[in-house]
Amino acid sequence: MRFLVPFEATRPKTRLNPVLDAAERAAFARAMLRDVLAALRAAGHDPTVVATQAVDEGDVPVAVDDRPLSAAVNARLGGTDPVGILVADLGLVTPAAVGSLVDASDEGGVAVAPGRGGGTNGLVVSHPDFRVDFHGVSVRDHLAAARAVGAETWVVDSMRLSTDVDEPADLVEVLLHGEGEAAAWLRDAGFALDIGEGRVGIDRTV
Amino acid sequence: MRFLVPFEATRPKTRLNPVLDAAERAAFARAMLRDVLAALRAAGHDPTVVATQAVDEGDVPVAVDDRPLSAAVNARLGGTDPVGILVADLGLVTPAAVGSLVDASDEGGVAVAPGRGGGTNGLVVSHPDFRVDFHGVSVRDHLAAARAVGAETWVVDSMRLSTDVDEPADLVEVLLHGEGEAAAWLRDAGFALDIGEGRVGIDRTV
């Protein structure tokens, strides 16, 4: 299956700046991208990187598109063949995890892999009218958008696909469960485990 | 399959005290426990609550054991039949997620469901010599302990099983993906989504 892998090549992983400088963030982001591309190919799929500026990933096709993420992806949807989308910052990805997303879409419609905190880390789109919007609580919005065009929806239950690496908290999971270049890069950079506390905001309205 | 569900009944979910008072933490913890028990039964299993003090869960057997968690669980392992263990604070649990853990153990040995941050949220133990130790980076320790007794190991890739609810950050996931009493309890208590940032500590040694 054709898979789009959006990649922020200009200023990647800015939320990691408490622990990595700009050059390190760029190198770590590329290591995660390579893990995602390798997992997709090992699972038998054909990735294309959709990058904000030119990057060289050897024999992997790279499309440069400086539009916002959702617009760049939507410009490549709408055909009759299923298209997969997988974010580039999955430091825990494996071929089996990719397979769980693709298997979920066996019956067509739209399969979604939720990310932590309401994001969407992967999709397989088998409906020509479905479009993405990665802003806000996108996992909920994508399921609603799929139903709105009459597509069946499937949700994949995968820790590996749910763990996009955005901030220092997430590096813990890469160190624990990563099996590729990203985990090796962190270890080479001197990172080790020191588990603390996590925080995400909630709002009590009553 | 027999499943042990350890439950801290004395002072549950203390790390939620920034957003819930003691009575609310107790009520929310019980709602999550009921979700876990219901998912286990819907998946065809026989849960027993192993609680630090008496709780009434209707027709679900409750064993009161005031020993530390690992000791209370280990006192109930060692037989020839497989035994499952599932933590009580899985606000995203579903029967299908339980099934993924049990299916992973089809070939015996020890199946593990990792929790975020290095914990262990579920196990299926089919080796009489395996014992648990929930301290520290327990997912890693449990895999090593299984190999040490010659048991094959299996790791389940499930976002729902990996999301134990310990702190305010985790309530976001319950509100987004929970399908049971815990999610309903939060909504009834007036919680709604306001997604912010997450943090977990790491240590750079070089």
Query: A45 in a domain, yes or no?
Result: yes
Which residue type occupies A84?
G
Task: Check if the beta carbon of residue B90 is closer than 8 Å to that of residue B160.
Answer: yes
Which of A139, A157, A204 is closest, CB to CB, to B190? A204
Within a domain: residue B193? no
Residues A32, A88: Cα–Cα separation, whole Å: 6
Model's pTM, two decimal places? Answer: 0.93
Q: Output the domain CATH number for residue A90.
A: 3.90.550.10
Residues A160 and B157 sit within 8 Å (Cβ to Cβ) = yes
Size of interface A-B (CB pairs under 8 A): 155
pLDDT, average across residues A42-60: 97
pLDDT value for B206: 38
B180 occurs within a structural domain: no
In a domain, B203, yes or no: no
Q: Looking at the 3D structure of chain B, how many domains does it have?
A: 1
Predicted confidence band of residue A192 (pLDDT cuts 50, 70, 90): confident
Q: What value, to the nearest 5°, has the Cα angle with vertex B115 and ends B140 and A162?
A: 115
Please report, in angstroms and rounded to a whole number, the separation of the first and last CA atoms in chain B. 47
CB contact under 8 A, A140 and B168: no
Of A24, A28, A159, A179, which to mutate for an interface test with B (greatest number of B Cβ within 10 Å)? A159
Is residue A35 within 8 Å of A80, Cβ to Cβ? Answer: no
Bridge partners (DSSP) of residue B5 are B49
Q: Residue A147's pLDDT is what? A: 98
Taking the C-alpha atoms of residue B135 and residue B126, their distance in angstroms, rounded to an integer, is 21
Q: B70-89 pLDDT, tens per residue?
A: 999 999 999 889 999 999 99
Chain segment B43-73, per-residue pLDDT in tens? 999 999 999 999 999 999 999 999 999 999 9
| Predicted local distance difference test score (pLDDT) of residue A100 | 97
Buried b (16+ CB within 10 A) or exposed e, A59-75: ebebeebeeebeebbee
Residue B178 lies in a domain: no
State whether B114 and A194 contact (CB < 8 Å): no
What ipTM goes with this model?
Answer: 0.92
Positive or negative: CA dihedral A166, A171, A173, A179 = positive
State the average pLDDT over residues B88-101.
Answer: 98
Which residue has 């054909």 as its token pair?
A46
| Within-domain flag for B176 | no
pLDDT band at A182 (very low <50, low <70, confident <90, very high): very high
B119-130: b (≥16 Cβ within 10 Å) or e: bbbbbbbbbeeb
Q: Assign A206 a pLDDT band (cuts: 50, 70, 90).
A: very low
Predicted confidence at residue A195, as pLDDT, reads: 56
Cα–Cα distance for residue pair B6/B49, rounded to 1 Å:
6
The DSSP 8-state label assigned to residue A16 in this structure reads G
Average pLDDT over residues A128-139: 94
- Tens of pLDDT along B104-162? 999 999 999 999 988 999 999 999 999 999 988 899 999 999 999 999 999 999 999 99
Structural domain of residue A38, as residue ranges?
2-165
* Contact state of B193 with A137 under an 8 Å Cβ cutoff: yes
Does residue B182 belong to any structural domain of this protein? no
| B113 to chain A, closest Cα gap in Å | 10
* Domain presence at residue A21: yes
Beta-carbon contacts of A95 under 8 Å, excluding residues fewer than 6 positions away, are A39, A42, A43
Average pLDDT of chain B is: 92
Cβ of A203: how many Cβ atoms within 10 Å?
12
The residue-averaged pLDDT of B12-32 equals 95
